[in-house]
Chain A
């Protein structure tokens, strides 16, 4: 990517001089992109965001914005809008004053400040709350005000640090769509930090999965889910059955992994050495319950240990391949109503749904 808008070049960050919170990070973000940094807490994603905003300095490496290095630029001159985890609305100012703040510190006239603040407030549908104090608003409303405040000065880049973390589930989903639509409408570049994989998958153009200060995988949500590059990503994104085994045969991109009770034919990723330990990742919703006598790429016997009713689907906890925690997700349809615990059945998986990844070092 030559037209990168934001770049991280070999960025390192350490607080104590011993362990790296961010190690040798390279990342390029295109203009207008919605990029999510996803990872467990302590994975370095928020530190990256704070370095971009200017609240933390990289220990080594370089960050550029629109082609210019920004190490020497203080936060207030970066023109980056930041939406904080707990909104950080100023409690002593009204909603309108909060939104007008970035304009008034830029010495715009009072009339112009108010006009643009009201426009921004309209963008998040809160015109009627202009004179309230933040303390009188609900969490969702505060979130919208914070969003309007970060957008009102037309920053080149918007950073969001777990902005929906404090909202309840329904509201969180509604806000996800709202932010996504704002992004599409305004065309700003957004860097979004979250530990919620659902948020990352629904909103982003690309997702960077962080763990231990490194990007584990950087790709589109679909790619991330369908083709995780390693065991961490497979385990972190979505639900996942992990089966340990040993690689026995390799043919093109397909490998045969020996597991307890047989061989699995898998899509092969990473190390192709015969005899190496592999971790086979199988998504619960890709597991098929086979009819009597039906043939499939991979077929395994299994016993139903538990049937959990989820409304739109059933979850079967199966004992198979030396595990009693193997999960299969079955749609709640006519054909699947009669599973009972103790029942024996056969399960099947296509080759492309079994991903043989490098087993993590123990």
Chain B
């Protein structure tokens, strides 16, 4: 064998020495190019689809999370002056130049009908900003009475407060870290120092932690339920396994909404589950299972179970039955053989299933929304609220970005722990 191989390499050397290398390489390139192009052609629709509907939206979301809003476009001069003012220390009310620029640009914005947009943005910084801005614009005189400063403060004493100008100052750069800070329950105060948000308004970190906790519990439950099932499926004869597999996949054929609603019916106070348990005499009082966390966990575990079963099953299917027999014949009792041979070989499926379920779980929306308690919502509900109700897309995007970073970080930790070849998706 080794002799034969060295002969072949000797032949290659001769051909290279004969100066045919250039020709050979060129023709190889030609042959490869056609194949590469054909391969690319087949993959192109998917690549385009992924680019347009996955990569671009994600990139857009990441950009949105640091984009500050319309202030520098609508009030360029004021924005520039306010940024200079922000670097002054200690900070007082801005000087007349800022007031004058603001008054001029406020009138322009009012005429151009761009003011509502700006008002919405400033309202994120300071609730009540919208009415202040609108009222001031309505009553703004053409020329100042004295200084612009006196005029504006005369219209509304709030214009004499540092807080109002600090809020506008935070809105004036093109890029901001404000949304990301807000997503982590922090904010810049009127002197631009980073501070924790008041406990009464700090909802995002709690919600993120709650989301991670629920997702971790669901993932663990799915694993505990799916692993033995997948093992059984993988060791059964093909026909029986296929039949049982259909049962596992059955939930996929029902709409998610229907499944969630069914769980609501089953879990409610007067639902069949409580009635059955009471009839069996296991409980005296009906259990509170709907509109709280246990309900969310039960329903999500059911909905996500197939995503755990499938990768584990496909990996287990590839483990020859010989391995366990070999381990047993070599003297390992069943449990030892399982622990030292079968389990490590099934680990790539476990990793893939856990990642899949966990990542799906942290973004879950419908099920927790319908079954969860009002004060126990996952972060997806907050994101939906921010995008649909308050139109604060920046903060919504920032929450998404934080979730993305957490997911990627977990993935890297996981692959570091189990090794890079330890993940097999599908």
Contacts and interface: CB of A to CB of B under 8 A. Distances in A.
B322 A102 contact: no
B340 A80 contact: no
Interface string A170-202: 000000000000000000000000000000000
A78 B331 CA distance: 8
A79 B320 contact: no
Contact of B329 (A80, A85, A86, A138): A80
**Which of B322, B329, B330, B344 is the most central at the interface, judged by chain A CB atoms within 10 Å of its CB?**
B330
Nearest to B324: A88
A84 B322 contact: yes
Interface in A35-91: 53-55, 74-82, 84-86, 88, 90-91
Contacts of B323: 88, 90
A82 B325 contact: yes
B345 A55 contact: no
A102 B344 contact: no
Interface in B301-348: 320, 322-323, 325-334, 336-337, 340-341, 344-345
A81 B326 contact: no
A102 B320 contact: no
Given A91-B345, A92-B345, A105 B322 contact: no
Interface residues of B, number: 20
Contacts of B337: 76
Contacts of A150: 330
A106 interface: yes
A101 interface: yes
Nearest to A140: B1
A149 B330 CA distance: 8
Contacts of B341: 90
Contacts of A85: 322
Given A84-B325, A84-B326, A88-B326, A76 B332 contact: yes
B345 A82 contact: no
B320 A75 contact: no
Nearest to B347: A92
| Interface SS of A by simple majority | loop
B320 A76 contact: no
Contacts of B328: 54-55, 74-76
Given A53-B329, A88-B325, A101 B340 contact: yes
A76 B329 contact: yes
B330 A153 contact: yes
Nearest to B330: A102
Interface in A87-136: 88, 90-92, 101-102, 105-106
Contacts of A53: 325, 329
Nearest to B1: A138
A101 B332 contact: yes
B388 to A, nearest CB: 49
**Which of A53, A88, A91, A106 is the most central at the interface, judged by chain B CB atoms within 10 Å of its CB?**
A88
Contacts of A138: 1
**Which of A54, A74, A85, A102 is the most central at the interface, judged by chain B CB atoms within 10 Å of its CB?**
A102
A105 B326 contact: no
A105 B329 CA distance: 11
B345 to A, nearest CB: 6
B350 to A, nearest CB: 14
Contact of B331 (A79, A86, A90, A91): A79
A149 B329 CA distance: 11
A54 B323 CA distance: 15
A80 B1 CA distance: 33
A112 to B, nearest CB: 15
A149 B326 CA distance: 10
Contacts of A92: 344-345
Given A86-B320, A88-B320, A75 B329 contact: yes
**Which of B328, B337, B340, B341 is the most central at the interface, judged by chain A CB atoms within 10 Å of its CB?**
B328
A84 B328 CA distance: 12
A37 B270 CA distance: 68
Nearest to A89: B326
Nearest to A171: B1
A46 to B, nearest CB: 12
Contacts of A81: 329-330
A177 B337 CA distance: 32
A250 B333 CA distance: 61
B8 to A, nearest CB: 16
Contacts of A90: 323, 326-327, 341, 345
A54 B345 CA distance: 24
A162 to B, nearest CB: 12
Nearest to B345: A92
Nearest to A97: B340
A88 B322 contact: yes
A101 B323 CA distance: 12
B313 to A, nearest CB: 19
A149 B327 CA distance: 10
B215 to A, nearest CB: 29
Contacts of A153: 330-331
A283 to B, nearest CB: 35
B90 to A, nearest CB: 65
Contact of A105 (B325, B332, B344): B332
A25 to B, nearest CB: 21
Nearest to A153: B331
Interface of B: 1, 320, 322-323, 325-334, 336-337, 340-341, 344-345
Interface of A: 53-55, 74-82, 84-86, 88, 90-92, 101-102, 105-106, 138, 149-150, 153
9 contacts: A53-B325, A75-B325, A75-B329, A76-B329, A76-B337, A90-B323, A105-B331, A105-B340, A150-B330
7 nearest CB pairs, A to B: A88-B326, A102-B330, A88-B322, A82-B329, A105-B332, A75-B328, A76-B328
